[in-house]
Amino acid sequence: MAVPRGAGEVGVISPPLAAHDRIAWLEYRGSDFPFYNARPTLVTALQWAFVLAAVVLGFGLLTTPLLTPTGRAAPYLAAILFPLVPLAALAIVARAHWKAIFSRVGLRDVKWMLLIALLNIVVTVCVALALNQAGTLNANAAVAGLKDLPVADRVLFFARTAPQLLGEELVTILPFLAVLYLLSAKAGLSRRQAILGAWLVSAAWFAALHLPTYGWNFVQCFVVIGSARLVLSLAYIMTKNVWVSTGAHIVNDWTLFVVFLLLAA
């Protein structure tokens, strides 16, 4: 089993899957994704549309001037609302079962969290270096500005990115689950085919969200960011636990931030 769960907790332990439906080399044995097969509850296509609208709203609160909170605490409030808004929407449609995307984190989870973060750093750096030779990469202004911040503001920046990176996971994993449901329950694809489709679609969606950040550089977003997202999503596909993919994302980004600061110094 992926993790132990008590009575009434959600995380999904489904009946054993047929061997041909499982990705045996990747998925924790005995674990399954929530919602796509009405376990632990059914989330309909209309309900998924509501959740995805909340995903867009949460992202808008983080990035859109007309929606972003104002005042000195605005960046921190926006970073907190970013994950809270889609989680609230999921709780409305799935009720107590919204917790199915989370579970306890064990030592095995921490191991994969670190390994996937390391793999992602290697993949990202290799792809970025290859593209940088062609002069096709733009800098992230927020990260570039880190070197000019005082130490206290740098600490606050790192603290703010933690809930924001949870939001980035939700902005990927919730669409992943929605597409998984549509491809499996509605389009009739096999479980493996639906996972592959949801993995690719959610990574492309995540890459597209970064277009304004990188000056609408399609190559950078869909090749560098998209490939990084594919690697990070493996953490959720493996464990079915958003805490693990969030942890991998935090380790990945914080490591790159620290390396950037060291090089800038």
Write the pLDDT tens digit of every residue in 215-250. Answer: 899 999 999 999 999 999 999 999 999 999 999 999
Note whether 227 and 124 are within 8 A (CB): yes
Q: What is the model's pLDDT at position 20? A: 66
Note whether 103 and 243 are within 8 A (CB): yes
Q: Is 122 buried (19+), middle (13-18) or exposed (0-12) by CB count in 10 A?
A: exposed
CA 112: distance to chain centroid? 15
| Cα–Cα dist 137/71, whole Å | 32
Q: What angle, 0 to 180 degrees and rounded to 10, lies between the N-to-C axes of helices 242-264 and 107-132?
A: 50
Q: Name which residue leads in pLDDT, 21 or 223.
A: 223
User: Is residue 72 scored above 50 in pLDDT?
Assistant: yes
**Contacts for 96 with CB less than 8 Å, ≥ 6 apart:** 8, 10
Domain boundaries of the chain, sorted by first residue: 102-264
